[in-house]
Amino acid sequence: MRTVELGRSGLKVSAIGLGGVQFSKVSAAQVKRVIGAALEEGINFLETAYGYFDSEEKMGPALRGRRDGLVLASKTWIRDGATFAQHMETSLRRLGTDCIDLYQLHGVDSQADMDACLKPGGPVEVAMRARQAGKIRSLGLTTHSLDIALAAAGMDIFESIQYPISLVNTEVRGSGLLGKAARNGVGLIAMKPLGGGRLGDPRLALGYVYRFRNVVPVVGVETPQQVRELAAIARRPPALKTADQAAIARLRRTVGKRFCRACRYCEPCPRKITIFKGMYFPVYIQQMGVDRVLGKGLPDYLKDIEKCTACRTCEKRCPFGLDIVNGLKDSLALARELLAQKD
Ligand code: SF4
Ligand code: SF4
pLDDT at 343 over 80: no
Task: Provide the CATH number for the domain formed by 3-241 in this structure.
Answer: 3.20.20.100
Q: Which ligand is nearest to the CA of 314?
A: 2
Instruction: Find the mean pLDDT for residues 191-195.
Output: 93
Which residue minimizes the CA distance to atom 8 of ligand 2?
269
Secondary structure class of 293 (helix, strand, coil): helix
Judged by phi (left if over 0) then psi (alpha if -120 to 50, else beta), residue 185 lies in left
pLDDT of residue 328: 97
Q: In this structure, is the dihedral angle defined by the CA atoms of residues 280, 286, 288 and 294, taken in order, positive or negative?
A: positive
Q: How confident is the model at residue 196 (pLDDT cuts 50, 70, 90)?
A: confident
Residue 312 alpha carbon, nearest atom of ligand 2: 1
The whole-chain average pLDDT of the chain stands at: 95
Ligand 1 binding pocket, CB closer than 6 Å: 260-266, 275-276, 279, 318, 320, 322, 324
**Using alpha carbons only, what angle is made at residue 264 by residues 260 and 266, rounded to the nearest 5 degrees?**
90
- φ, ψ for residue 197, nearest 5 deg: 90, 5
- The proportion of the chain whose per-residue pLDDT surpasses 90, expressed as a percent, equals 91
> What number is the average pLDDT over the span 64-68?
95
Pairing assessment for the beta strands 71-76 and 160-164 based on DSSP bridges: unpaired
Distance (Å) from CA 271 to ligand 2 centroid: 7
Pocket test for ligand 2, best of 260, 266, 267, 273 (most atoms within 8 A of CB): 273
**Alpha-carbon distance values, 317 to 44, 135, 140, 212, 258 (Å):** 40, 42, 29, 29, 15
Provide mean pLDDT across the span 149-178: 96
Residue 254 banded pLDDT, cuts 50, 70, 90 = confident
**N residues, the chain:** 343
Of 339, 334, 295, which is closest to residue 53 (Cα–Cα)?
Answer: 295
Q: Percent of the chain at pLDDT above 70?
A: 100
pLDDT of 214 strictly over 80:
yes
pLDDT band at 121 (very low <50, low <70, confident <90, very high): very high
Question: Which amino acid residue places its CA nearest to atom 6 of ligand 2?
Answer: 311
Q: How far apart are CA 147 and CA 149, in angstroms?
A: 5
Q: Report domain extents, the chain.
A: 3-241, 275-342
Q: What radius of gyration do the chain's Cα atoms show?
A: 19
